[in-house]
Amino acid sequence: MGTDLRLPVVVGVDGTDQSTRALRYAVREAQRHDCGIHIVHAVHETAPVAPMLPLVSMETFDEVGRRIVTDAARYVHGIDPNVPVETSVLHGTRTRVVADVGENARMIVLGHRDRALLGRVLTSSTTTGVGARAHCPVVSVPSTWVDGQVHGRVVVGVDGSAASKDALGLAFSAAAERGASLTVLHAWKLPSAYDDIIASRVMVDEWRRTGQAEMEQTVAPWREIYPEVDVEIDLRHQYPAPALVGATEGADLVVVGRRGHGAPLGLYLGSVARTLIREARCPVEIAPQHVREETPPAARVSDSEVSPQA
């Protein structure tokens, strides 16, 4: 790279309104971290063309891609001319191209396109695919995000798994950078309605006592590293996905972990993360697995130390 981007924020663009929102979010992150922005557009190697239309060459698609990234760079400089910008037009699927460029990035930012329920089922989400594969944090920016609207609160979902501990470090860092408070949310609910009735009458009070103690133990090492962050532990007897979606109202960011590689079609991202990408009212940051290596040793608890409900 000719431009010193110092671990840039990578933004995938396609010329739509959602990529414009992603660009604005990326500018704020670049300003926060004093780094540059790498704008990427993926030209798919095949494109559907109706039989009655003239053939279109790949050079034409490349020209469109170059125009899209040029307009995006101009948009970024219109917000802040001091943010270094680099652009790339690459061939391949959007998921692979953006994830590959993100190998040397601080984070990847993507705008989320609202879809009808049928579209959610039948259409593969670029954000979901990139979030499942990237080696850096991936942020999904929803249509409800408003640049300049600050609530002063970051939310992180924690369930005792290794993936949620990955998210915890990112969330503390994000809260400290923003001067925001941090809500550590742990939610559980048994899948069986019968068992849930029993749990709600017998186990909830005991679970709250043990859960509060376990969450305090989990966040204690991070409190020492980020003593300036005001932390609230929020325990809910509720399914995790709707609990986190509800918590995004009035938040600046929600951070979640992801599962390991191995499942097909990006399902290893996890149902909670995929639900948040679809329905969150604030940006969603997905923590990569390698963040776990930066977790303070005291924050790593064994499986036997995690509550059965986690």
Q: Give the tens place of pLDDT for each residue, 52-75.
A: 555 555 568 889 999 999 999 999
pTM value > 0.85 = no
Between CA 65 and CA 70, with CA 68 as vertex, the angle to 5 degrees is 110
Beta 37-43 vs 231-237: how paired, if at all? unpaired
**Domain-embedded: residue 218:** yes
pLDDT at 164: 83
CATH code assigned at 40: 3.40.50.620
Whether 95 and 201 share a structural domain: no
**Domain-embedded: residue 261:** yes
Tokens found for residue 114: 């609202």
Whether 23 and 120 share a structural domain: yes
Beta 9-12 vs 85-91: how paired, if at all? unpaired
Whether 131 and 157 share a structural domain: no
Whether 63 and 175 share a structural domain: no
Question: When comparing pLDDT for 138 and 132, which is higher?
Answer: 138
Whether 137 and 157 share a structural domain: no
Whether 125 and 161 share a structural domain: no
264: pLDDT strictly greater than 50: no
Question: When comparing pLDDT for 135 and 2, which is higher?
Answer: 135
Q: Which of 110, 141, 172 is the last residue of a domain?
A: 141
SS3 label, residue 42: strand
Which residue, chain included where needed, has tokens 């559907």? 48
Phi-psi region of 34 (alpha: psi -120 to 50; beta: other; left: phi over 0): left
**Domain-embedded: residue 4:** no
CA 187 to CA 167: how far, in whole Å?
15
Whether 134 and 201 share a structural domain: no
231-237, strands of its sheet edge to edge: 85-91, 37-43, 9-12, 107-111, 138-141, 284-286, 253-256, 153-157, 181-188, 231-237
pLDDT at 5: 63
298: pLDDT strictly greater than 70: no
pLDDT at 220: 94
Between CA 53 and CA 61, with CA 55 as vertex, the angle to 5 degrees is 110
Whether 172 and 134 share a structural domain: no
Q: Which of 141, 175, 192 is the last residue of a domain?
A: 141
Overall domain count for the chain? 2
Q: What is the DSSP string of 106-125?
A: SEEEEEPPP--HHHHHHS--
Beta 138-141 vs 284-286: how paired, if at all? antiparallel
pLDDT band at 205 (very low <50, low <70, confident <90, very high): confident
Whether 110 and 244 share a structural domain: no
Whether 68 and 125 share a structural domain: yes
Report the candidate in 99, 98, 72, 76 with the shortest Cα–Cα distance to residue 28: 76
pLDDT at 47: 56
pLDDT at 282: 97
**Domain-embedded: residue 3:** no
As beta bridge partners, residue 9 has 37, 107
Provide the 8-state DSSP code for 236: E
**Domain-embedded: residue 256:** yes
Q: Which of 90, 117, 141 is the last residue of a domain?
A: 141
Tokens found for residue 264: 């097909």
pLDDT band at 44 (very low <50, low <70, confident <90, very high): confident
Non-local (6+) Cβ contacts of 172 within 8 A are 182, 222, 225, 226, 229
pLDDT at 46: 60
Whether 118 and 228 share a structural domain: no
Q: Is there a contact between 176 and 229 (Cβ–Cβ < 8 Å)?
A: yes
* Highest-pLDDT range among 118-132, 183-197, 256-270: 183-197
**Domain-embedded: residue 2:** no
Whether 135 and 161 share a structural domain: no
Question: When comparing pLDDT for 211 and 113, which is higher?
Answer: 211
Average pLDDT over residues 130-143: 93
Tokens found for residue 243: 């609990």
45: pLDDT strictly greater than 80: no
What are the CA-CA distances from residue 218 to residues 39, 71, 186, 226 (Å)? 37, 45, 12, 14
**Domain-embedded: residue 269:** yes
Provide the 8-state DSSP code for 255: E
273: pLDDT strictly greater than 70: yes
Average pLDDT over residues 124-142: 89
Report percent pLDDT > 70 for the chain. 76
Q: Where are the alpha helices (DSSP H) in 259-305?
A: 271-279
Length of the chain equals 310
Structural domain of 129? 9-141
**Domain-embedded: residue 238:** yes
pLDDT at 291: 44
